[in-house]
């Protein structure tokens, strides 16, 4: 007899799909997706810079490909030229690590100097302008208050002198 009423009293919970849509529509998720796409494109630029400019400059002191720099932990180290894999010995490929480190340092420098530093300077200027605007607003409010006090004092003085003349 109360079956129909218990269904209507039950709260309607949002579906999983509704929750997922709400999650995707939040601004920070969209911003994060844009950042990942831009970061992937930026990584290609930095990798090209390292492979096309930095590696040859470093390679001027040795081989042109940093990935070829290695040391041998157990001699003799020989490599298959076609695949680049070691056929004997235990090579330590420190050139690959150097190349990845250079890529990271260049990426970090470009991100810092072209994105983080200008944004922090902009935000500091914006905060200074906002503070100046707030101080100006306070000054206007104080000035208005002073004018209102003067008007009040003059009205009180007129009333006081008006009562004495009657």
What phi, psi does 2 have (nearest 5°)? -100, 10
Residue 166, pLDDT score: 46
Residue 64, pLDDT score: 64
List, in order, residues 6 or more apart from 93 with CB less than 8 Å away. 67, 69, 70
Q: Give pLDDT tens digits along the chain (166 positions).
A: 455 555 555 567 878 888 888 877 776 777 788 888 888 888 888 788 877 887 777 777 766 667 777 777 777 877 777 766 777 777 788 888 888 888 788 878 887 888 888 888 999 999 998 888 887 877 777 777 788 888 898 899 888 776 555 4
Cβ 105 vs Cβ 50: under 8 Å? no
CA–CA dist 108, 102 (Å, integer): 10
Helices (H), the chain: 3-9, 16-25, 27-49, 55-59, 94-111, 117-165
CA–CA dist 109, 100 (Å, integer): 14
Cβ 85 vs Cβ 37: under 8 Å? no
């Amino acid at each position: 007899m109360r079956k129909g009423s218990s269904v209507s009293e039950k709260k309607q919970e949002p579906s999983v799909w509704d929750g997922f849509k709400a999650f995707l529509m939040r601004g920070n998720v969209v911003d994060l997706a844009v950042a990942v796409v831009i970061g992937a494109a930026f990584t290609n630029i930095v990798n090209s810079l390292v492979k096309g400019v930095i590696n040859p400059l470093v390679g001027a002191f040795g081989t042109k490909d940093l990935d070829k720099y290695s040391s041998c932990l157990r001699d003799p180290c020989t490599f298959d030229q076609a695949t680049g894999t070691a056929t004997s010995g235990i090579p330590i490929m420190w050139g690959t690590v150097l190349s990845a480190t250079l890529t990271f340092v260049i990426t970090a420098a470009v991100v810092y100097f072209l994105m983080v530093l200008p944004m922090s300077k902009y935000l500091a200027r914006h905060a200074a302008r906002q503070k100046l605007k707030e101080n100006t607003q306070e000054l206007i409010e104080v000035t208005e208050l002073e004018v209102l006090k003067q008007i009040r004092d003059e009205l009180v003085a007129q009333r006081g002198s008006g009562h004495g003349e009657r």
